[in-house]
Structure 1
Amino acid sequence: MQASICVPTSSTSHSLLKPNSNPLLGHSLPSKSCFPLKRRASFTTKAVLSTTKEAVLKDFHERRALKIISGLQNFDKENVASVITAAEQGGATHVDIACDPELVKLAIGLTCLPVCVSSVDPAAFPAAVEAGALMVEIGNYDSFYEMGVIFTPEQILNLAKQTKKILPSVALSVTVPHTLSLPDQVKLAEMLEQEGVDIIQTEGGKCSNPSQSGVLGLIEKASPTLAAAYSISRAVNIPVMCSSGLSAVTAPMAITAGAAGVGVGSAVNKLNDVVAMIAEVRSISDSLGASAGTGRRSTSEEKTLKL
């Protein structure tokens, strides 16, 4: 039996493993950009699972993660493909798509970046992980807010517990909703950390209505999620991802505030042209101090995850 593994040419930690090969489940999918390696009988041991998870989370622990989000309810394959391409070519470290196995297969055919899937239904995650996703996210609630649906701390905590029970070895990110007061956001984040969640994601950009235009407006729009990242990062020991309403102007502020990375959605996925998407991702990547494209690590530091 064989598994596919990606060989980086000049890459960050996200290229340590190829989503086409999912050691969390012991399955592999064919990929032209990967070569086969012999799989050992102990392929699904805890040590291998731990190493895989560590590789997926490495950019967060190094406080330079950039996750590009296509949208929890975005099932438009053409748009999702454009977002994935922009993430790959623009210098992102992760891509976040709707929890759909077919979209996951599409994603792993387009990128070597770890694929995260978002949902509020834990039962939907296994099929996506089976297809190649290496990270799951409970969050991206924006589309539900538009329908008047609000998630309580109890509901979110329960969703996290269910997900950990179903997929104990998969990296799990959980969004703390901006609809809670800041102290309640911190309290929920602390409880999620106790449940074994790997990443806390903040939000708030869409709830902000800037009164100014230009740079002042961008800063004003990002202020709720920046405040959440600042407060939560000082209360928990796990990485915090600052998301919602961020731009090349405010992404560096998120890192300064204490975030381990940033998540960007509408600033990219609402653009109509893939070239414009790539430019936007690259602009944000550069603002975080990362070089454009994949040249973020010297050749001497390149590694292949040997399983």
Structure 2
Amino acid sequence: MASTIFIPTSPSRLNSNQNSLLGEPLVTKAIVSTVRRRVGLGSSTTRALLSSTTKDSVFKHFHERRALKIISGLLNFDRENVASVVTAADKGGATHVDIACDPELVKLAISLTSLPVCVSSVDPAAFRAAVEAGASMVEIGNYDSFYEKGIFFSPEQILNLTRETKRILPSVILSVTVPHTLGLPDQVKLAEQLEQEGADIIQTEGGKCSNPSKPGILGLIEKATPTLAAAYSISRAVKIPVLCSSGISAVTAPMAITAGAAGVGVGSAINKLNNVVAMIAEVRSTADSLGLSAHEYAISKKQAPHTV
């Protein structure tokens, strides 16, 4: 399956006067052509406007500061694994699921869950077809898979991607990840600029740059430190919700909320597990740490009709 993102031909920092959005050469014209056909550029049938009901369902748990987004991976096009992650998110008590930006994966996801589906990419043009397929929100980010290739994103590139996404889908909920490769003051500055450009949610990261020196709980806390620091700083600089992601676990999810985040994103702790039962258990553990189970139970009790 062809990827829905543009990848540089060499694993170097993206820069200079090449692609107008990312600043890098495209793999080949054939790949670009394939991507353009898949996302249906120029189509007059784009479902750019989401209903207020859909938006309310996406933002509900962010407003309650208990959102839990389970991430399958920006470059994960393995249908079986994505299906397992989506099922685990649904059965384990998550509030959102985040998958690669592919219309067929979106259709698969919405056949398995009623949770809001977010799609991640660094190609704004790819979002259109995913929204047409049923995605409720889009994410510029989940850059971890690029770091492994030595590819990094500058603030200017991310701002350009944000502007282009807002141009294509002005009414679709947009989340943007602020790279941990920037210093903390620069992360805060970029987050403020992204808010001004119309981003609806800021996502933090940092797990990839953290190398815990201790095992067990101490190690889990060490691993989450960079993204917790980013969530603390950014949440005090912007008015939009902040999702604390990368390196988060059931141990550190409540810390993220205390730091100022409106929710957490969990990826490799779930998608790297080898069976759906283990995935569900891990999602449930994180959901419980956020009080999601008790909260939803309390709501259901309030809504239930009184019986004698």
Q: TM over 0.5, yes or no?
A: yes
Select which of 193, 205, 208 maps to 2:207: 205
Could you state the TM-score of these two structures normalised by the residue count of structure 1?
0.81
Percent of aligned positions with the same letter in both sequences? 80
CA distance in 2, matches of 1:51, 1:270: 33
Aligned partner of 2:242 in structure 1 is: 240
Q: Which runs of 5+ in 2 are unaligned?
A: 1-44
Which one has the bigger helix percentage? 2
**Runs of 5+ unmatched residues, structure 1:** 1-24, 28-43, 303-307
Post-superposition offset of 1:283: 0.1
Q: For residues 201 and 177 of structure 2, what CA distance do their matches in structure 1 show?
A: 8
2:285: which partner in 1?
A: 283
- C-alpha spacing 1:296/1:201, structure 2 compared with 1 (3 Å): farther
Distance 1:206 1:163 in 2: 26
Q: Secondary structure at the match of 2:74?
A: coil
| 2: CA distance, partners of 1:194 / 1:293 | 33
Cα shift readout 1:76-119 (whole Å, capped 9, x = no counterpart):
00000000000000000000000000000000000000000000
Give, in whole Å, the separation in 1 of the partners of 2:294 and 2:267. Answer: 19
Per-residue CA deviation, residues 22-70 of structure 1 (Å, 9 max, x unaligned), is xxx797xxxxxxxxxxxxxxxx9x7x73443233112111101000000
Following the alignment from structure 2 to structure 1, what is the Cα–Cα distance between the partners of residues 248 and 122? Answer: 23
Equivalent pairs counted in the alignment come to: 260
Partner residue of 2:66? 64
Q: Which residue in 2 is equivalent to 1:217?
A: 219
Amino acid at match of 1:150: F
**Aligned with residue 267 of structure 2, among 253, 265, 268:** 265
2:194 equivalent among 192, 195, 210: 192
1:141 alignment partner in structure 2: 143
Q: Which residue does 2:162 correspond to in 1?
A: 160
CA drift of 1:198 comes to 0.4
Contact 2:46 2:128 (8 Å CA) reproduced: no
| Cα offsets for 1:4-36 (capped at 9, x unmatched) | xxxxxxxxxxxxxxxxxxxxx797xxxxxxxxx
The answer to whether the 8 A contact 1:67-1:264 is kept is yes
Offset from partner CA, 1:268-289 (integer Å, 9 cap, x none): 0000010000000000000011
Contact residue 57 and residue 116 of structure 2 kept, 8 A: no
1:7 aligned residue: none
Could you say which residue in structure 1 is the equivalent of 2:26?
none
Of 142-151 and 55-64, the range deviating more from structure 2: 55-64
In 1, the alpha carbon distance for the partners of 2:57 and 2:189 equals 28
Deviations 1:195-221 (A, max 9, x none): 110000000011100000000000000
CA contact 1:90–1:293 (8 Å) conserved in 2: no
Partner amino acid, structure 2, of 1:217: G
> Residue 28 of structure 2 corresponds to which residue in structure 1?
none
* Residue identity opposite 1:276 in structure 2: A
- The yes-or-no answer on 1:256 pairing with 2:255 is no
Does structure 2 retain, via aligned residues, the 8 Å contact 1:49–1:169?
Answer: no
Residue 56 of structure 2 corresponds to 54
Matches within 5 A, 1:68-79: 68-79=70-81
Hey, what's the Cα distance between the residues in 1 that align with 2:256 and 2:168? 32
Once the two structures are TM-superposed, the CA of residue 299 in structure 1 deviates from its matched residue by 5.6
- Which structure's relative contact order is higher, taking Cα pairs within 8 Å and 6+ residues apart? 1
SS at match of 1:237: coil
Q: Distance in 1 between matches of 2:295 and 2:73?
A: 23
Runs of at least 4 residues of structure 1 off by over 3 A? 48-51, 292-296, 299-302
SS in 2 for 1:226: helix
Q: TM-score, normalised by structure 2?
A: 0.81
1:89 and 1:296 map into 2 onto residues whose CA distance is 18
Q: Which amino acid aligns with 1:185?
A: Q
